Amino acid sequence: MKSELQIKQLAFLEETCQHYNNTNRNYSSDLQSCMYAPVSDKSEGCAISRKIADKELCKELDTLGGVSRDCVFELLPSELKDLEQEFLTQIQVLHDGSQFWVKNGLSERGLEKKQEIIDRFDL
């Protein structure tokens, strides 16, 4: 039987995979990276920041780096921190990797990465 955490993690992973494709990942072509704060009207933000209501916080996170950094993780709302840092780091890797996305969602490599996450966290 899956724990409440595993159920929440799987739901977050599935929602992320259903929401994104290679055109709405909140990628800044100027900076050549994905961003927390929305960079265009095509995206609400990255997989993590679209769950953050405080868009000023998202702008601050853009200056600090990835969620694997403790200083970023500690600033997240508790409902995101409850998902655990390592899990959110893997979500960020999935979201940020252009090789994982195609026009309609996950690429073959993206499906493999999704399965890696499921296996790693026993989801």
pLDDT digits (tens, 9 = 90+) for 8-67: 999 999 999 999 999 898 887 776 788 898 887 777 889 999 999 998 999 999 999 999
Euclidean distance between CA atoms 104 and 58, whole angstroms: 26
Count of domains for the chain: 1
Percent of the chain whose pLDDT exceeds 70? 99
Residue 39: the pLDDT is: 82
Contact assessment for residue 92 and residue 66, using Cβ atoms and an 8 Å cutoff: yes
Give the residue numbers spanning the domain of 102: 4-120
Name the nearest CA neighbour of 20 among 120, 90, 116, 110: 110
